[in-house]
Structure 1
Amino acid sequence: MDRIRDLASRKAAVIFTKSSCCMCHSIKSLFYELGASPAIHELDQDPSGREMEKALQRLSSNPSVPAVFIGGRYVGSSKDIISLHLDGSLKKMLIDAGAIWF
């Protein structure tokens, strides 16, 4: 969990994903469309990925990926991010964290 916290705090927006996950791809695309350039950590390409995935599973009852952190804080998985986007608060969170500027 320490490595996840460290990686999540290095950039305003951080997404832990798997390269074969379609929802991960969708969330990354959403962030890019909003103008954010998140740090992406592909767990299936990382030697410590399995351990990080287990730690991420303990954060929520949702699937472990995508796991999104904004401003160093865990925000949620795809369902949470889509809900935040639909109600307009995702963009504000990204602006407040310095991930996008307007």
Structure 2
Amino acid sequence: MQREGRRDSWEEEIKENSSAVERVLKLVEEDAVVLFSKSGCCISVAAKALLSTLGAHPTVHQLDKEKEGEEMEGALLTMLAAPPAVPAVFIGGKLVGGMEQLMSCHITGSLLPLLKEAGALWF
């Protein structure tokens, strides 16, 4: 029951932030791996380092330096369904999630196939 209420809330928030959501979705379609971050976010640095170590070099959008960064952060919070909004990782245009989800994919062995499928790796 609570989950349905959260979904209704999520849909309402998406409608309110539709231009920011559209901007986020446009940005994630432009590159195979996209990382939304903020300057000085050590967890985002770790996410970028993990992806780079695997050979996938993400396009990084620092929300505190983007014109619509605050609105996009709100859209990402809604998409992730829980704070924090950064890092937010998209692979192949699909939301993977934050650092916890990224590490989970790495540990279970599903991250490399995702990166290969998205065309982010050359092997």
TM-score by length of 1: 0.96
Q: Choose from 43, 65, 70 the match for 1:45.
A: 65
Could you say which structure has the greater relative contact order, defined with CA pairs below 8 angstroms and 6 or more residues apart? Answer: 1
TM-score by length of 2: 0.80
Cα distance in 2 for residues equivalent to 1:101 and 1:85? 18
Amino acid at match of 1:100: L
Could you tell me which runs of 5 or more consecutive residues in structure 1 were left unpaired when the two chains were aligned: none
Cα distance in 2 for residues equivalent to 1:92 and 1:100? 9
Over the aligned positions, Cα root-mean-square deviation in angstroms equals 0.8
Identity percentage of aligned residues: 45
Cα distance in 2 for residues equivalent to 1:36 and 1:19? 20
Name the counterpart of 1:3. 23
Please identify runs of 4+ aligned residues in structure 1 that moved more than 6 A: none
Amino acid at match of 1:23: I
Cα distance in 2 for residues equivalent to 1:19 and 1:95? 28
Q: How many residues align?
A: 102
- The structural deviation recorded for 1:66 is 0.4
- The structural deviation recorded for 1:62 is 4.0
